[in-house]
């Protein structure tokens, strides 16, 4: 069963990337989001076990897909959302979509649930940062003492995306193959920082 699911995930990823490759004049990050959404919604009923981690993973992917689709099609003019290398982006999508069935299958084997519970709080904080970027002015981070000196969040959408990646790492931290998931999450953070994704233009 797992072999068939993996082949299906590879097919879905390749098909969606090929579709957007022909449709988009400038490649955006959206194929990764769409392919992960399809893979998760198809994999969960087939091989998923109903527990906190698997349900949270599905919820994370659905919410991230919604906010990304909104950004791509309704609020893209102020943000850098186009990728420089479509092949690296495709590799990230393939790795993530291949890892999803393993997370769903091994989710009951989590050693501890504490990091999974913490991942929800981190995710919500990332979502708040993502939505704060809709404000048409710099977002105040904190005030220093009693003087009128403030720190500002310059790129709240990018910071929100980083918190999404951290929540993914926390969710899978005590699963089998957790080292692999954490490496993928950290590499993804480095990738969006290096390519300046989601920064204000």
What is the rounded CA–CA span in Å between residue 123 and residue 180? 20
Based on its alpha-carbon atoms, the radius of gyration of the chain, rounded to whole angstroms, reads 18
Q: Which residues pair with 151 in a beta bridge?
A: 142
Burial category of 86 from C-beta neighbours within 10 Å (exposed 0-12, middle 13-18, buried 19 and up): middle
pTM of this prediction?
A: 0.88
Q: Please state, as a whole number, how many other Cβ atoms lie within 10 Å of the Cβ of residue 80.
A: 18
Question: What's residue 150's pLDDT?
Answer: 43
135-173 confidence digits (pLDDT tens): 544 555 554 455 444 456 678 888 999 999 999 999 999
| pLDDT at residue 147 in the model | 47
Nearest to 65 by CA among 32, 43, 98, 27: 32
Q: Mean pLDDT in the chain?
A: 87
* Element housing 34 (H / E): helix 30-47
CA distance 170 to 116: 6
pLDDT, tens only, 164-198: 999 999 999 999 999 999 999 999 999 999 988 88
Give the model's pLDDT for residue 120.
Answer: 96
């Amino acid at each position: 069963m797992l072999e068939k699911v993996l082949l299906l995930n590879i097919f879905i990823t390749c098909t969606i990337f090929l579709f957007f490759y022909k449709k988009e004049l400038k490649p955006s990050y959206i194929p990764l989001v769409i392919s992960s959404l399809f893979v998760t919604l198809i994999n969960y009923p087939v091989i998923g076990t109903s527990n906190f981690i698997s349900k949270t993973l599905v919820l994370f992917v659905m919410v991230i897909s919604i906010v990304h689709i909104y950004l791509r099609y309704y609020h893209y003019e102020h943000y850098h959302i186009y990728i420089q290398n479509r092949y690296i982006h495709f590799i990230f999508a393939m790795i993530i979509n291949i890892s999803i069935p393993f997370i769903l299958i091994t989710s009951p084997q989590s050693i501890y649930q504490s990091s999974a519970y913490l991942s929800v709080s981190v995710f919500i904080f990332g979502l708040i940062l993502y939505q704060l970027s809709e404000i048409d002015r710099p977002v105040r981070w904190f005030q220093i003492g009693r003087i009128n000196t403030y720190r500002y969040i310059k790129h709240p959408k990018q910071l929100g995306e980083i918190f999404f990646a951290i929540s993914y790492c926390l969710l899978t931290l005590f699963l089998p193959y957790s080292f692999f998931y954490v490496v993928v999450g950290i590499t993804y953070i480095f990738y969006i920082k290096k390519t300046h994704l989601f920064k204000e233009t």
